[in-house]
């Protein structure tokens, strides 16, 4: 039923009347501010009214808000707290088709990829190294007289990625 701005069923006519109704309701429920009223106002979607919705209704639909407050808080002999809306369980969006491996399984896969010579799989399965660790390993291999092409490629990729990130930051700040 549409409400007329001049008069409503409850007799509310202006924003001051809404403020009075809100003040009475706060006093009745023993709250500190108007957000405390939200728990007593049911929503059609389930649960109680969100405090943003209450504030929006106060500005855009004050007569409807006043009617709700009068019906569920003021006219009620003992206002009841509405239970919150059911939310989706945490972790409900986890992918179930994704395979997880243990550390030993990953090490075995890495070993098989190295044996087969699949460089792409080796790079995907290898743990990511920091630049400092990569430098240390590279220096140690040079001192031992061993040339490790995979280690050199890893070092080159890390340095390239770092340079790309620095140039992107420079472009961002120089705009």
pLDDT tens digits for range 109-140: 888 988 998 878 887 787 778 888 889 999 99
Q: In this structure, is residue 1 part of a structural domain?
A: no
Residue 7 maps to a domain: no
Provide the β-strand partners of residue 42.
48
Q: Which structural domain, as residue segments, surrounds residue 64?
A: 15-74
State the average pLDDT over residues 28-39.
89
Nearest Cα to 123, choosing from 171, 158, 81?
158
Q: Which of residues 39, 74, 109 is at a domain's end?
A: 74
Domain count, the chain: 2
Domain annotation covers residue 103? no
49 falls within a domain: yes
Per-residue pLDDT of 134-164, as tens digits, reads 899 999 999 999 888 878 888 888 888 888 8
DSSP state of 102: -
46: in domain: yes
Please tell me which residue, 92 or 37, carries the higher pLDDT value: 37
Residue at 166 is within a domain: yes
* Boundary-marking domain end, from 37, 55, 74: 74
* Residue 42, phi then psi, degrees to nearest 5: -75, 155
Of 57, 144, 43, the closest CA to residue 85 belongs to 43
């Amino acid at each position: 039923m549409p409400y007329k701005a001049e008069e409503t069923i409850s007799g509310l006519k202006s924003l001051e009347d809404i403020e009075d109704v809100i003040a009475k309701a706060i006093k009745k429920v023993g709250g500190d501010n108007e957000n405390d009223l939200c728990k007593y106002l049911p929503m059609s979607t389930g649960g109680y009214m969100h405090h943003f919705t209450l504030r929006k209704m106060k500005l855009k639909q004050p007569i409807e808000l006043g009617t709700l407050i009068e019906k569920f808080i003021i006219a009620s002999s003992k206002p009841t707290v509405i239970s919150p809306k059911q939310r989706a369980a945490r972790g409900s969006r986890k992918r179930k088709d994704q395979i997880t491996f243990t550390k030993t399984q990953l090490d075995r896969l890495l070993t098989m990829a190295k044996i087969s010579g699949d460089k792409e799989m080796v790079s995907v399965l290898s743990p990511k190294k920091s630049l400092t660790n990569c430098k240390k390993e590279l220096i140690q291999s040079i001192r031992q007289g061993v040339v490790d092409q995979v280690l050199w490629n890893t070092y080159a990729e890390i340095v390239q990625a770092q340079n790309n990130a620095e140039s992107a930051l420079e472009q961002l700040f120089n705009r």
